[in-house]
């Protein structure tokens, strides 16, 4: 068993059967560092083992849900400077195998994993100004979190491809219309709406909830696809295209992929 991962940027609260995981790095739009992924994975793993935890809620401080992966971490992986365990893999597998209901409250930007993780949530509430994006191709990367299957299955191939390949954003109302989210809620009511739903779930019989979720999801297929995507993702990080994408980001210029062939 690994030691718990400490992160000041993830707040964990447990009350009345509900675990709330709050991203608390608003000054960086809640960009997810390796330690943040570790703390989130720890929370989900704890929820699976603790019979007193019936529901998990994801929410975030500030004006954005998350700007996605901290690109400094990505750059370090692309250049080989990163060493140690990549906790994002633990987090994704914890999402795949989660039996507890997952609820999300999403405002502002939800970039990359900020959107793909919603495909593993059972109830999702968004603000009207939410902007869901999965711009992996822009960074010379590929989809993750089994989203290469889950997103087209949810919204159709054409819409999913436009989100992946063109980086097209989806607003709150569209996310509801397409079936990514349950409802669009004004920012001032967002957390209360998500918590009210979580409280309702926490009062339901946990065995029936977990069995229903198991019947609705093929966790093993999802986890296996995550492995395939993860291998492709890791390989892409080592390409000249990815190096150009991250250098362009660091140098605050448009990427020029024509020069990498």
113-159 pLDDT, tens digit each: 999 999 999 999 999 999 999 999 999 999 999 999 999 999 999 99
The pLDDT, as a whole number, for residue 5 is 74
Total domains, the chain: 1
In this structure, are residues 142 and 229 in contact, taking their beta carbons and an 8 Å threshold? yes
Domain membership flag for residue 228? yes
Residue 79, pLDDT above cutoff 60: no
Range of the domain at 53: 10-187+208-250
Distance of CA 49 to the CA centre of its chain: 22
Domain membership flag for residue 18? yes
What CATH number does residue 147 fall under?
3.90.226.10
The pLDDT, as a whole number, for residue 1 is 45
Domain membership flag for residue 203? no
* pLDDT band, very low/low/confident/very high, at 256 (cuts 50, 70, 90): very high
Q: What is the mean pLDDT of the chain?
A: 94
How does pLDDT run across 211-233, given as a tens digit for each residue? 999 999 999 999 999 999 999 99
Match 């739009």 to its residue by tokens.
29
Least trusted range by pLDDT, from 29-43, 71-85, 141-155? 71-85
Domain membership flag for residue 197? no
Integer Cα distance of 33 and 249 in angstroms: 17
* Total residue length of the chain: 261
Domain membership flag for residue 49? yes
- Those residues whose C-beta lies under 8 Å from the C-beta of residue 213, and which sit 6 or more positions away, are 98, 99, 101, 122
Domain membership flag for residue 196? no
Domain membership flag for residue 128? yes
Percentage of the chain exceeding pLDDT 70: 94
Domain membership flag for residue 199? no
What global pTM score does this model have? 0.94
The pLDDT, as a whole number, for residue 77 is 60
């Amino acid at each position: 068993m690994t030691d718990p991962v400490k992160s000041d940027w993830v707040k964990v609260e447990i009350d009345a059967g509900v675990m709330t995981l709050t991203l608390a790095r608003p000054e960086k739009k809640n960009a997810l560092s390796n330690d943040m992924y570790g703390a989130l994975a720890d929370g989900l793993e704890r929820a699976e083992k603790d019979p007193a935890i019936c529901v998990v809620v994801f929410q975030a401080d500030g004006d954005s849900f998350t700007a996605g992966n901290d690109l400094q971490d990505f750059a370090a992986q692309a250049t080989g400077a990163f060493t140690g365990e990549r906790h994002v893999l633990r987090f994704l597998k914890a999402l795949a195998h989660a039996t507890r209901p997952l609820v999300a409250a999403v405002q502002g930007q939800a970039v990359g994993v900020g959107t793909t993780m919603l495909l593993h949530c059972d109830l999702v509430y968004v603000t009207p100004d939410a902007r869901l994006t999965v711009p992996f191709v822009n960074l010379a990367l590929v989809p993750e979190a089994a989203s290469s299957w889950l997103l087209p299955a949810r919204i159709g191939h054409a819409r999913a491809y436009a989100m992946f390949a063109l980086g097209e954003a989806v607003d709150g109302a569209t996310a509801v219309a397409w079936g990514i989210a349950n409802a669009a809620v004004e920012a001032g009511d967002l957390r209360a709406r998500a918590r009210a739903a979580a409280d309702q779930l926490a009062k339901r019989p946990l065995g029936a909830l977990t069995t229903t979720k198991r019947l609705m999801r093929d966790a093993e297929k999802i986890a296996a696809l995550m492995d395939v995507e993860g291998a492709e993702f890791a390989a892409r990080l080592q390409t000249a295209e990815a190096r150009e994408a991250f250098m362009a980001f660091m140098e605050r210029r448009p990427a020029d992929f024509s020069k990498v062939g």
